[in-house]
Amino acid sequence: MKKPMYVSMRGGEKIYINGAVLQVDRKVTLALINDVTFLLEGQVMQVNDATTPLRQLYFVVQLMLMNPGDVEQARSVFETQCSAICAVADNAELRLGLDAVKELVETRRYYDALRKIRALFEVEQAILNNADTLLPVVA
């Protein structure tokens, strides 16, 4: 038998499990006994926070994880966005990371894909910061 995964939650916190949203009313520890996909409330990105290409990609993968019954439309958007980012990306770390993300999405490992995308946020921010310093100054 598989070892349970324990998730500790505070009162009022939400967890998204296989497309369902659960909210606990007090501090609790959940034992997830079988394979499930889940996100804690703190890992969920709101649409208005999807302000950069990678954050938008994260949001799309998050939709795949949170709404497993309607993955195909989100997958199509993911493929379009990921291809667009790869077409303009000249940073090796970003390109390798996106290749890994594509493979994770293809194998339906959405949570792992989200973790990989989050790890690339710093790379993206550095690229965006550098782009800002390279823009010509208008007098």
Residues forming beta bridges with residue 28, ordered by sequence position: 9
Average pLDDT over residues 98-119: 95
Confidence of residue 122 (pLDDT cuts 50, 70, 90): very high
Whole-model pTM? Answer: 0.82
Same domain, 68 and 124: yes
Same domain, 124 and 70: yes
Same domain, 83 and 35: no
Same domain, 24 and 74: no
Cβ neighbors of 100 (< 8 A, separation 6 or more) are 116
Nearest to 21 by CA among 5, 38, 4, 3: 38
Which domain range does residue 12 map to?
Answer: 5-42
Confidence of residue 14 (pLDDT cuts 50, 70, 90): very high
How far apart CA 101 and CA 58 sit, in angstroms, is 10
Say if 86 falls within a structural domain: yes
Please check the confidence at residue 27 and state whether its pLDDT lies above 90.
Answer: yes
Structural domain total, the chain:
2
What was the pLDDT predicted at 135?
Answer: 47
29-85 confidence digits (pLDDT tens): 999 998 888 888 888 999 999 999 999 999 999 999 988 888 899 999 999 999 999
Say if 14 falls within a structural domain: yes
What was the pLDDT predicted at 84?
Answer: 94
How far apart CA 66 and CA 40 sit, in angstroms, is 11
What was the pLDDT predicted at 38?
Answer: 84
Please check the confidence at residue 121 and state whether its pLDDT lies above 70.
Answer: yes
Please check the confidence at residue 100 and state whether its pLDDT lies above 90.
Answer: yes
Same domain, 30 and 57: no
What was the pLDDT predicted at 133?
Answer: 57
